A and B are shown apart, each in its own frame.
Chain A
Amino acid sequence: MFLLTLCEGDGSIMQQYNERFKRFWKEYPERDIEYIRVYPTSVSVMDQDDVWKKKEIVIYIHIPFCKSLCKYCPFTKYPHNDQIIEDYLKALYKEIDMASALPYVQDKRIVSLCIGGGTPTVLSEKQLIGLLEYCKTKFDCVEGLEISIEANPETVDSNKVKSMLDLGVNRISFGIQSFNDRFLQIIGRAHKGEASIRAINMVKELGLGNVGIDLLYRIPGQTIEDWQNELQKAIQLKVDYIATFCLSLVPGTQLFKDIMGGELPQQPSEQVEFEMFDKIKEILVSSNYSQHYIHDYALPGKECEYHKASFYAPQKECLALGAGGRSYINGCFYGNVHPIDDYINTVNSGKLPISFGRKLSKKDEMSRFMVLGVKFLSVSKAKFRECFGINVENVFLETLEKLENWGLIRNDTDFIRVTNKGEKYISNVCKAFYSPEDWGKLQPNGIELQKKEGDFFMQYGTAPKKA
């Protein structure tokens, strides 16, 4: 081949050939006769590491057990029972075997491992050690990868934490929800505010680099002052990462029933919710936290890699393991079976426990890029172009104009940015980017709860068509 002989020569020969070959680029009506063997024509010197560099993905592992069940929680979880946990872990190991043997997965490097729930720390120290060690041997983890574990203040002790730190756990996220015992009782949390403070102080003393907490607002009876106190407490405890959640009433949960039945007061009004939301930014930003994600704030350098991988556009692929885990990988979004016994039986029969999902079209991927991306408040237009080869305006012009007219986003030169107003309407912003066939469809959350409500689940898939 011409090029090959050329490369083994020197630069002056290249010059000569360049001159000679100029005649071959012809514009119609002149006839071009050069046979095209390779495209693209502009190449660089490279080696095998360029071509075969592994892509980075994240892993999520679901531990669906809790010591006690919170009244508002729509996630997959079951009361704690030693035998079931043992059986579950055995099955989980088998799923890890199957998933890690997939060539597609072997071709990837893991940059973050997140163990969530449920409550992963209901596992004993020995069980946790076993699981973490198993993951590290089975997957190609980058050195010093983020290992993040969700925990409940009551299910950690110093021995367990020390073991976790030894195994490379560098982030713990506590489901604190509130430091106020009155609200903890309303939402059905088993722990007391004191226990949370002890747990946070303990892990910090043991040297954990990144302590995160979840805090809940718009709890029945909660005032703005109550909420400010929660935030101040978190700052005072020097937690690294604060994830705030507006309490969302999910049909089928105990809390939903208690409020509907009049046993608990209604939630504070939307107006109060907005004020609480504004307080978060006001208070945390003035204390050196930056808004990392619409509802999450972190001290410098304490952002969560896993979270970023899941939402920040372009999103990374996620392999989710365990009952009810949701994966986005190899062009598909799919969920594992939810009921623990089904999960265990399916895995034990040698099959991957995948129950429902969807192969994404290119259009779906573009939508996904935006829908989840805007939750990080800015989406890079250059990255969109890089991923899809087309400008975001070519695909979403109408949507962008509509949202801009409503004052929910700004279409800057380089980024699509969510405005302050847009932050309060973030779900409207997200959903504006849905593919038309998904308009009106609700989130595939808490599937088994929905199933209990009979045909209600079916309605999820058939919401009214948008005009």
Chain B
Amino acid sequence: MNEDDKKKYNEWKEYPERDTRGTIWYPPSLGEINPNDIWEKKEIGFYVHIPFCKSICKYCPFNRYRWSSEAVESYLRALKSEISIFAENNYIKNSKIVAGYFGGGTPTTLNNEQLIDLITFIKEKFNINEKIEITVEANPTTVDKEKLKTLTKLGVTRLSLGVQSFNDRILKSMGCSHTVEQAVNAIKIAKEVGFDSVNIDLLYNIPGQTLQEWEYDLNKAIELQLDHISPMCLFVDSSSELFEAYYSAGNLPRQLEDLELDMYKLASKKLNDNGYHMYTLYDYAKPDKECEHHKLNWKAPQGEYMGLGAGAISHINNYVYVNVAKPEIYNEKISNGTLPVAFGKKLTKEDEMSRFMVFGFYCLSVSKSEFKKQFGIEIEVVFENEISKLQNWGLISNSQDTLALTEKGMKYLYNVSSAFYQEEYKYYPEDIKLKVQPKVL
């Protein structure tokens, strides 16, 4: 073939010249590719819900029930069946587990044998052979040295203690069963047995709590040299006993917004000054102690996770769905061999884009280039109005690659997040807009 022929053949034609080379493959330019890259497994996390507590805290809005040994036994049997069903699922087989989380309820209401049995079973079923972050939530009254040692031996790397407060009066008012002494003791043992990271949850803006009391809690946490601290403003959720009490009395507790913000600022300053950095609006960590599970849940682009157990939420295979809540119904469903899916939604692309933003701001900022990579379109094209509105209100800043909450925006996180809701979901608080009322669960 001479050069002219080659040229003629090779030419890329633009209208009005006619291109006669058919197009049956796209994209046309290919490079070397490794099969392992094509079939690389997707990284996902898992969440296991243990819905039992020895006593119920008044503020708790979660799916929890009073502990009984029979209830736990039959629940664990069902939970293992659910795990087995997932382990056989091809989507899960095509995934690599990178983080795990046992939440509740109180996972440490399980005894040592139960913990060993459950965690070993999960690791075996999901082929977890390498060290990954595994978190267990615990209540100070349900742990002792032996149990915590057992957990570390099982590969649990992170312990999250529901301390809530270092003030016995406040603990009592919130219906917590533990004392400050028990909490401090549990923290000390946890640090001793060698978890990679020990976290505590602390609550603020509890009715009756003063700024000085909150400062004391923060100082105490810093003094105990925790790796990770999660301060949460008390939210009186409608499904908590606290709410019911106030509601039947005719009014909700007074929570002072100014005080809340002062408490928030104090936490931010104190923790920052003492070597903790904020990486979600509720989480402060020492260097390298950020929780992978939280980031998988919130940080944009959010990862997938399977939720195991009663009431557990999953974000997987383009769905967000929730398991049935009541352990008895959960057990029954599983014994019929079906996954106990209750309700959920298949995410549209628009939902995914919204989700990217709604939860992305929990981690303070979202990356524009990540959005573009994820969706093939500029963030400004999709959310032009929302971004300029929030910018005008001074709630977010817009720099080269980052949309970030401003200091003011941190106070208005939920306004920022809900601004990115799809129009059809606006004006409906979370969980409210059930399209169909289920008859039997």
Contact = CB atoms under 8 A, between A and B. Distances in A.
Given A34-B430, A102-B39, A371 B23 contact: yes
A443 B22 contact: yes
A352 B10 CA distance: 32
Interface string A28-56: 11111111111111111111101110000
A424 B353 CA distance: 39
B342 to A, nearest CB: 7
A430 interface: yes
Interface in B1-39: 1, 5-6, 9-16, 18-35, 37-39
B438 A441 contact: no
Given A8-B441, A51-B321, A425-B19, A44 B345 contact: yes
A415 interface: no
A362 B13 CA distance: 26
A45 to B, nearest CB: 5
B121 interface: no
B437 A14 contact: yes
Which of B22, B94, B320 has the most chain A CB within a 10 Å cutoff? B22
Given A2-B61, A40-B425, A372-B26, A260 B339 contact: no
A441 B355 CA distance: 37
B311 interface: yes
B90 A358 contact: no
Interface in B330-367: 338-339, 341-355, 358-359
Contact of B426 (A25, A45, A430, A442): A25
B235 A389 contact: no
A354 B35 CA distance: 6
Interface stretch (A62-70, A85-93, A458-466): A458-466
Contacts of B411: 31
Contacts of B377: 362, 388-390, 394-395
B216 interface: no
Interface residues of A, number: 118
Given A14-B434, A332-B33, A389-B350, A3 B26 contact: no
A103 to B, nearest CB: 4
B192 to A, nearest CB: 34
A82 B235 CA distance: 76
Interface in A1-24: 1-8, 11, 14, 17-18, 20-22, 24
B26 A44 contact: no
Contacts of B320: 38-40, 43
Contacts of A365: 376
Contacts of A428: 13-15, 18-19
Given A47-B341, A440-B12, A387 B21 contact: no
A438 interface: yes
A31 B412 CA distance: 6
Given A28-B415, A40-B354, A372-B26, A1 B344 contact: no
B28 A441 contact: yes
Given A36-B358, A43-B322, A435 B27 contact: yes
A38 B305 CA distance: 13
Contact of A358 (B33, B326, B339): B33
B89 interface: yes
Given A6-B431, A21-B432, A46-B344, A40 B33 contact: no
A444 B341 contact: no
A1 B382 CA distance: 32
A370 to B, nearest CB: 9
Contact of B412 (A2, A32, A355, A357): A32
21 contacts: A1-B431, A7-B438, A14-B437, A28-B412, A31-B412, A36-B414, A50-B319, A50-B341, A51-B316, A329-B38, A355-B33, A365-B376, A389-B348, A389-B349, A389-B350, A394-B381, A435-B27, A442-B21, A443-B21, A443-B24, A466-B12
Interface of B: 1, 5-6, 9-16, 18-35, 37-39, 61-63, 89-91, 93-94, 235, 237-239, 247, 257, 311, 313-314, 316-317, 319-322, 324-326, 338-339, 341-355, 358-359, 373-377, 381-382, 393, 395, 411-412, 414-415, 417-418, 421-422, 424-438, 441
